[in-house]
Chain A
Amino acid sequence: MMLIDCPHCGPRDENEFTYGGQAGIAYTPDVDDEAWAGYLFMRDNPKGWFHERWFHAHGCRTWFSVHRHTVTHEMRPQP
């Protein structure tokens, strides 16, 4: 059970949150089919640091993003 630091509520258990996948994927509908398919379906899956989104669904209902190391689960707030 990871401990996730919500910017509003402070550290809370992982099960209060919803995972939001990779961060920084901008909604840009005015692109060709291939780029649009990339927006819909293609995400990075690195071994190491990953910029990702979380939603504090059972708390303040804030979306935020962090950097998490996918091996150690170490988290750093977005700089």
Chain B
Amino acid sequence: MRFTFDERTYEGRPGDTLAAALLRNGVRVVGRSVDLGRPRGVFSAGPEEPNALVRVGADPMLAATTVELYEGLAAWSLRGKGRVDLAEPAGRRCDKGYLHCDVLVVGGGPAGLAAALAAGESGARVILVDDQPVLGGDLLAGRATLDGAPALDWVAGVAHQLAVLPEVRVLTRTTAIGYYDDNYLTAVEKRGSGERLWHLRARRVVLATGAQERSLAFPDNDRPGVMLASAARTYANRYGVRPGARAVVFTCADSGHEAARDLAAAGVEVVAVLDARDGAEITGTTADGEGVLTGVRTRGGGQFAADLLAVAGGWNPVAHLFSQSQGRLRFDEELQAFVPHLSAQAERSAGACRGLYGTAEAIADGYAAGSQAAGLTGFAERASHHIPDSDERPPKPPAPLWVMGDDPATSFADLHRDVTVADLQRASGTGMRSVEHVKRYTTAGTGADQGKTAGAVVVGVMSALLGTAPGQMGTTTFRPPYTPVSFATLAGRDRGALSDPVRTTAMHEAHLARGAVFEDVGQWKRPRYFPLGDEDMDEAVRRECDAARTRVAAMDASTLGKIDIRGADAGEFLDRIYTNMYSTLAVGACRYGLMCKADGMVFDDGTTARLGPEHFLMTTTTGNAAAVLDWLEEWHQTEWPELDVRFTSVTDHWATVAVAGPKAREVVAALAPEAAELAFMRCVETPVAGVDGRVFRISFSGELAYEVNVPWWYGAALWESVLALGAVPYGTETMHVLRAEKGFAIVGQETDGTVTPQDLGMEWIVSRRKPDYVGKRSHARPDTAREGRKRLVGLRPEEFVEEGAQLVAPGGGEMLGHVTSSYTGAVLAMARDVAPGDRLEAVSGGRTVPVTVVEPVFYDPDNTRRDGDPVERVGTVGEWRPESPAGRFAHRFLSASSERVRLRELPFVRMWEVRGRDPGQGLRLGPAWWLVTGDGGREGWTDVSGQRTVLELSGPDAVEVLVTGCPIDLHPAVFPGYAQTLLGKAGVILERTAPDVFRVYVRSSFTGYLAEWLLDALSHPGSGSSPPSR
């Protein structure tokens, strides 16, 4: 395998890490340290690496010990910290996955393998994750035998047994990085083209994360050539690489002697094995001109020429995940290390990560942990497992040694952050006693490696400096992620167009075709204006306003929230929610309403119509649709459950076009003759071009205006017909100008959570007759009832003022208010202690504009324009063809489908939401809530045929696609057949109709988003880990 490092070409072997391949080629200096720029080489053989940090492609800073070599890999050394190169194309494609299991085992070494096997054989659903490409853990690094055969034979045997267990899933190349509440873990799987961030939920967790060797602080202990003894041994045994020609081994524990044996066996000349337990001590090292190690000096004048110093400081159980789970550690005096003590979750540690370093005892502990976990999740524990005989000798306790020599300024405690013993001395000299303070003062432990090799040394040195025991010092807090994770991995598929769901209306494609300029309103895309030719926004808006004021114009109003409200107490309920009266509203009439939060501040507004004695339709602002529905349900369920009232969102069912202007009646007469002569604030359910529709005569512009509603599938046809009848399309910018000219406030523009209806000058909408409504009590609080609050006013500026400009008296002084809406010809503000005629200054960004306070109505204050012109000429309407929400994706669905997984949109089906009494059919979505499919709706059911469409995902890989976005457990034994949940970032109803067939009911406005999301998922499914590639 050819690869380049700093533009030079080298040859590595399959299975090498980049670090192994560099050592294989004799590359000793891999980079320079972050702060001091000292030459550094490979120090470890795993994720704990503090030194060998490199740039690989678009990845700015990776540990070379964790980078799997591939043909053509290109890496560069770093000087200081890695920097993201935005020009570098990041070709990887990342995603997420959600898995559930009875027993999750983290770590594929002897303990983890045994645990997974024991749990798996009992029938439990098991997931085993391991960060290496192959299973075996520490056994890969050594030459131990089990029952007289190479230990890797045992590993292969267990791996084979796991592979045939149907409920066991083994994820290699997968690093568990986070352990959160309720046994929720995250893990990063390296896949060929990118990473997958797994979200794992387990009933029991077995941590078998092993142990990491620690180093010691001594003078010039950072030179290339100084390496952990276990790493030197790993390179010799696992990779067949001699990490040096002449080695000195310094050890505090037995493992140094094992390393010395294995290095010698690999052909390294071991010139000395120095055991701290025999009183040996290193006092310094020497180097050549490159800074690479040439020799080791010892106490008593010893001097050894060597290009490798293998250091075995003892072992630290890898307790990161255990600590993240909120488990408590204790310091084990015999092991001289922190070990898991008290669990906080349904978890236990097994093997070396709890200090059981022998292979046979780790296997025994793993079997016990796996059996126990299976037993605790309801599976039969197998009585006994064969524990193989190991040829290892029982270990002797390590020397409690953390620092040597007499030069603290060159004795590194944290290699990554260049923190020396002298720095730690300074920290203790300032009076710091807590390792948390020392960490922040010195930055020890804050590098990309999170101090994996440094933590124990820092604690050891600090305890020596303070004359206390390491167990008294404690550790710093372990936080996720265990290893660095790129933002691309965290983002997964949620990038670019999929970063947040884009909601679109039935008319969206038509808007695109007309060159609309869009604005985001919540998740919706709404046309802001429709430029013709090379019009800018001002020109387009002027033309659109002119059409609405003098002829007829039309806007896509589908995004307004629509809530179907039914029940005998619906009117009473609305009386309590709105500030004005609804129980007295006549059938066929509409009323504008304001709702407040309990603190009396305006929350939302809209028009609510009475369609029947026990049937209302509420409209909400675009951005508040979901919040208002939540609000209604909260009050109903938690305060007034005795009221007979039911709520159904029909926002996506209805496509809505607002038709405004003196000629609007002609447009409506052609579409829905019955509706043309509606009186102001009346509505009718009537055919629109032969389709079941609703027409409301309401106006947000002061002109004659209607809102015409048809089911989603006919929305595009309605829009085209309205425009064909002569209406000029207008967008939200024109809508804002028209309403501002009439002095209509917009929730979220004039209001900001501190504004009451009275502040808006809308006392007329606040009922004095009703015993109560939400907000009424607060309207009597001293602060809301006082004089001198900011109120809605109009302004006449001498030149353009910006929204947000501050209002002050001429010459300055206290702030009196601010500009809330500013258009040519209409400026609104919230201001206190001002009256029409007052002259003020609007200050913004250092610019001061003189303004005059006026009444906040700039256009037709006497409402003379409301009834428009009579009908002179009625046009004709062409044939309407229905269009399904995913219709335009049919082709792409087909070409993305394969033998393994197919995607299509189901043909149109009628759908009904039923609340209250059980209809005896359909999907039960809530305690008293059903979705019924098919013709034959009954009285009281709400037609939601246009609210959702149904996408069908089928084939053997359908589940593998769904797990990349659906957080619930889809295992056949657990999944109840259907559920309401999330897929990607869209709420869906998921129904399994056959073992391999899933229906995804998705809101029509989310369909474009989910279709693109599914197409992305289908375009690179892949399962299982695969070696990295370019």
Q: Which residues of A contact B (CB under 8 A)?
A: 1-3, 8-9, 12-16, 18, 20, 27, 29-30, 33, 36-37, 39-40, 53, 55, 57-63, 72-73
Contact = CB atoms under 8 A, between A and B. Distances in A.
A46 B460 CA distance: 37
Interface of B: 180-184, 199, 201, 326, 344, 598-599, 630, 633-634, 637-639, 772, 776-778, 781-782, 925-927, 929, 967-968, 979-982, 987
Contacts of B634: 20, 55, 63
Given A3-B201, A13-B967, 9 more contacts: A1-B199, A9-B980, A14-B181, A39-B598, A58-B980, A58-B982, A59-B979, A72-B326, A73-B182
A40 B774 CA distance: 12
A73 B630 CA distance: 25
9 contacts: A3-B181, A13-B201, A15-B982, A39-B598, A40-B598, A57-B630, A58-B982, A72-B326, A73-B182
B158 to A, nearest CB: 31
A25 to B, nearest CB: 10
A59 B637 contact: no
A12 B966 CA distance: 11
Contact of A53 (B326, B638, B772, B781): B638
Contacts, number: 81
Given A36-B778, A58-B980, A63 B633 contact: yes
Nearest to A75: B182
Contacts of B981: 12, 16, 58-59
Contacts of B199: 1
Contact of B927 (A13, A27, A60): A60
A30 B772 CA distance: 10
Nearest to A25: B638
A46 to B, nearest CB: 18
Contacts of B182: 1-3, 73
A16 B637 contact: no
B181 A18 contact: no
A36 B981 CA distance: 37
A64 B782 CA distance: 34
Contact of B184 (A1, A55, A63): A1
A59 B639 CA distance: 21
B377 to A, nearest CB: 14
B54 to A, nearest CB: 33
B873 to A, nearest CB: 49
A29 B630 contact: no
Name the 8 nearest CB pairs between A and B, nearest first.
Answer: A60-B926, A29-B777, A3-B182, A1-B184, A63-B637, A2-B181, A13-B967, A59-B980
A9 B924 CA distance: 10
A62 B630 contact: no
Contact of B968 (A2, A12, A18): A12
A3 B181 CA distance: 8
A52 B982 CA distance: 24
Contacts of B925: 60
A58 B201 CA distance: 19
B926 A8 contact: yes
A40 B599 CA distance: 7
Contacts of B979: 9, 59
Contact of B772 (A15, A29, A62): A29
Contacts of A53: 638
Nearest to B776: A29
Given A53-B638, A62-B637, A36 B781 contact: yes
Nearest to B781: A33
A16 B985 CA distance: 11
B777 A36 contact: yes
A39 B597 CA distance: 13
B638 A73 contact: no
B992 to A, nearest CB: 16
A26 to B, nearest CB: 8
Given A3-B184, A29-B777, A33-B781, A55 B926 contact: no
Nearest to A60: B926
B126 to A, nearest CB: 19
Which of A1, A2, A20, A60 has the most C-beta atoms of chain B within 10 angstroms of its own C-beta? A1
Which of B201, B772, B980, B987 has the most C-beta atoms of chain A within 10 angstroms of its own C-beta? B980
A16 B598 contact: no
A40 B199 CA distance: 38
A30 B777 CA distance: 8
B46 to A, nearest CB: 28
B773 to A, nearest CB: 10
Nearest to B634: A63
A55 B633 CA distance: 10
Contact of A61 (B181, B183, B926, B982): B926
A69 B405 CA distance: 50
Nearest to B974: A10
Contacts of A29: 772, 776-777
A16 B633 contact: no
B344 A72 contact: yes
Contacts of A36: 777-778, 781
Nearest to A63: B637
A29 to B, nearest CB: 4
A30 B182 CA distance: 42
B755 to A, nearest CB: 16
B631 to A, nearest CB: 11
A62 B927 contact: yes
Contact of A8 (B326, B344, B776, B927): B927
B362 to A, nearest CB: 30
Contacts of B929: 60-61
A10 to B, nearest CB: 8
A23 to B, nearest CB: 9
Nearest to B637: A63
Contact of A18 (B184, B201, B630): B630
